[in-house]
Chains A and B, each alone.
Chain A
Amino acid sequence: MDLIRIRNVKKVYKNGVTAIYDMNLDIQKGDFVFIIGATGCGKSTLIKMLYREEKPTSGKIIVGGIDVAKLRNGKVYKLRRKIGVVFQDFKLLPRATVYENVAFALEVFGLTKAEIHSKVIKVLDLVGLKNKIKNYPNQLSGGEQQRVAIARAIVNGPKLLICDEPTGNLDENTSMEIMNVLEEINKLGTTIIMVTHDKEIVKKMKKRVILLDAGRILKDYEKGTYKDESI
């Protein structure tokens, strides 16, 4: 079943730059998809439209049954609750501990302390940070910080996890650790879309790969068929 359906989507920014041209794309539930391409080709724009940070100029985007383009501003939170997002720069709260950073995503829903505690401990265990819950972000390595961000993104149990260059600031080994965590999460049923520049990772993971070029899909590699064609 399609979790994401993109039809004839075009995105023109206010300054006149066209970031996406007439795009069509389907992504199935449970998939793991890489989005790659040169700088400025529209990767971030594409995923921003999925979590409604940007609105498509024309066309249709359905995410988990929600018509994203038609979603009113006041209702965007309903979409966001189904989606977790992870960025290159982690976006952690510097003055909150690991535990508090993850719990933050649950507190806005009015869960009890006990409910929050059990969920937070469970995801921190999943990303391998159970022994660092009292640390502050500046007491963690980059890889560990990114794992906190991932834990925060999935603590809500979203259907879709979107990652924009999550390994962009990390070395090779740490990047692979993060990929293992994402793989784990994907196996538990969460659909993952990941934007990356790292071809080594893409090659090793053997997933579906969508190659963008100047706002268009240049190639859509089936699972495991990606080869580095050095574009």
Chain B
Amino acid sequence: MKVFRILGRNIRDSFKNVFRNFSLSIASISCIVITLIVVSISIVLTYNVNNFASLVEKDVTIVVFLKNDITDLEIDEVEDKINSLSNIDSYVFKDKMEITSDMMESSEVYKSIMGNWKEDENPLRDTFQVKVTDIKLIDDVADKIKQFDNVEVVKYGEEMVKQLITVFEVVKNISIAIVIALMVVTAFLISNTIKITIHSRKREIEIMRLVGASNLNIKIPFIFEGLLLGALGSVIPIIITIYGYTALYGHFNGQLFSPFIKLVPATPFVYYLSLILLCIGILVGMFGSWRAVRKHLKI
């Protein structure tokens, strides 16, 4: 009970402090707001890019075109060889008739052209469509398959895949760097705010020591103050995140520019994100105040 009463008093005190140095608190809170908004945007970006990348990666297929006059026996041979490779997730065999009917289904134009093809006129090839487990090693797999007998061409949009992967990495790294830099700046600002509170409460601290308040008892209100600044600062970013992303998702119908680029569904994503923002706000706030207390509240 005693502990709760002391804690209650500490929380009350930190509220008082926040309002006593109102302009300073506002400055710190604004800084946290900006930081967390950027953090939120970065996470939204990174997460979507990641999500998109994994979708793309799942879709990347090595198409192995077989020679036109290949026999069933030779097809089996190729299949055995593919089977013996490592890093293969799955593969399917599609003969030219199957591909033709797929394509005809997908478009009226194809249908009118291909509908007239006879069996021996079909210029398409039988194929294996191979998916790999690790997209980064897709080159290896493709190179090995190229060496096989009776294989004509191997295609997998290699340049596009590589570029995408690099772009994703760069986007991720830049946003992580910006987020870290902003968090450091914010922590310093909070630390400064708490430092000023400590100085403005010199007399109170002196008296607290004199009447026998324990060190923890003296320090906790300041730590709480940082926590409070962090928590208050995360309110606006959380609201922006929840409403902003939900609206964005709704506006674009869950996809960007083309059905190919899918957005992460708004729920429950925005709620996890809000929780993360709150935690970051609180942690940065507490770190800032802890630093100020350690430096300026020598007991």
Contact = CB atoms under 8 A, between A and B. Distances in A.
B272 to A, nearest CB: 37
B212 A80 contact: yes
Contacts of B208: 104, 108
A77 B212 contact: yes
Contacts, number: 63
B9 A81 contact: no
15 contacts: A73-B215, A76-B299, A79-B212, A85-B210, A91-B207, A93-B203, A104-B211, A108-B208, A108-B211, A110-B1, A110-B4, A110-B6, A112-B5, A152-B207, A152-B211
Interface in A129-174: 152-153, 156
B211 A110 contact: no
Nearest to B7: A110
Contact of B2 (A74, A80, A81, A110): A110
Interface residues of B, number: 21
A198 interface: no
Contacts of A51: 210
Nearest to A101: B207
Interface residues of A, number: 24
Contacts of B211: 80-81, 84, 104-105, 108, 152-153, 156
B207 A104 contact: yes
B292 to A, nearest CB: 19
B263 to A, nearest CB: 51
A111 interface: yes
A156 B210 CA distance: 12
Interface string B124-151: 0000000000000000000000000000
A74 B207 contact: no
Interface string B258-299: 000000000000000000000000000000000000000001
A14 interface: no
Contacts of A76: 209, 299
Nearest to B20: A95
Interface in A43-91: 51, 73-74, 76-81, 84-85, 91
Interface in B201-231: 203-204, 206-215, 217
A79 B213 CA distance: 11
Q: Which of B3, B206, B214 has the most CB of A within 10 A?
A: B214
Which 3 pairs of residues, A with B, have the shortest CB-CB distance? A81-B212, A80-B212, A110-B2
B203 A108 contact: no
Contacts of A105: 207, 211
A125 interface: no
A85 to B, nearest CB: 5
Contacts of A156: 211-212
A107 interface: yes
A94 B51 CA distance: 59
Contact of B213 (A77, A84, A91, A153): A77
Nearest to B210: A85
Contacts of B214: 74, 77
A93 B204 contact: yes
Contact of A110 (B5, B209, B212): B5
A78 B214 CA distance: 8
Nearest to A85: B210
Contacts of B217: 77, 108
Nearest to B298: A73
A73 B209 CA distance: 11
Nearest to B217: A108
Given A74-B215, A91-B203, A93-B203, A110 B210 contact: no
Interface in B172-220: 203-204, 206-215, 217
A43 to B, nearest CB: 18
A32 B226 CA distance: 46
